[in-house]
């Protein structure tokens, strides 16, 4: 698959552009949430005051992880190659925008993204909702057919499919869990760069 004609690329952050560090089951235990359930969606079911307290604690945990973030191998080369071609770059994360900025800063990736092109969960319904993709495409004045959604988890790919973008599954572990939801599966960002025409 040749992705060199796609002019607008949207990336998940944690586990895609950065090395996966989140132990979600440990976070659920810390927050007192049921194991195996999506954290953000579970918080939506709780009484507002309890949910707000846990959201603040979640953001604190995520910030601690952001300060330890490391870029995925090949991330800078991929983003530089896309930027050099004039591709528009965006981030769509289930993290907060503040923590996304911090993660990207620590990893040396922040300068690749315009501030308005980094969307966190407070700016758009969390993936798998396609709302964040639609917001970025509207901001750019771009069509879904010109866009790529890149991620390492099914929520990323589901959001891309629902928005009708091309979907790329970054499967660093090589387990192939969500291959059927992706137009392209790669095991590294370096491999993705070859499909991007880099």
Per-residue model confidence as pLDDT tens digits over 31-67:
999 998 999 999 999 999 999 999 999 999 999 999 9
Per-residue model confidence as pLDDT tens digits over 172-187:
999 999 999 999 999 9
Q: Is the peptide bond before 146 cis (omega within 30 degrees of 0)?
A: no
Per-residue model confidence as pLDDT tens digits over 77-130:
999 999 999 999 999 999 999 999 999 999 999 999 999 999 999 999 999 999
In the chain, % of residues over pLDDT 70: 99
Query: Which CATH class for the 8-20+70-195 domain?
Result: alpha beta
What DSSP string runs through 147-165?
Answer: EEEEESSHHHHHHHHHHT-
């Amino acid at each position: 698959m040749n992705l060199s004609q796609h002019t607008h690329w949207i990336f998940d952050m944690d586990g895609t552009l950065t090395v996966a560090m989140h132990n979600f089951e440990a976070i659920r235990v810390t927050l007192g949430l049921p194991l195996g359930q999506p954290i953000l969606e579970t918080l939506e079911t709780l009484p507002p005051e309890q949910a707000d307290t846990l959201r603040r604690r979640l953001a604190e945990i995520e910030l601690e992880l952001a300060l330890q973030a490391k870029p995925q191998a090949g991330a800078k080369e991929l983003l530089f190659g896309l930027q050099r071609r004039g591709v528009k770059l965006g981030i769509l994360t289930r993290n907060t925008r503040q923590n996304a900025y911090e993660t990207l800063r620590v990893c040396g990736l922040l300068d690749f993204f315009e501030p308005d092109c980094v969307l966190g969960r407070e700016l758009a319904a969390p993936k798998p909702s396609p709302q964040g993709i639609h917001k970025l495409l509207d901001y750019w004045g771009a069509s879904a057919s010109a866009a790529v959604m890149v991620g390492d988890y099914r929520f990323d790919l589901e959001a891309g499919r629902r928005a009708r973008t091309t979907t790329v599954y970054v499967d660093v572990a090589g387990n192939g869990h969500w291959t059927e939801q992706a137009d392209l599966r790669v095991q590294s960002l370096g491999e993705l760069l070859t499909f991007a025409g880099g």
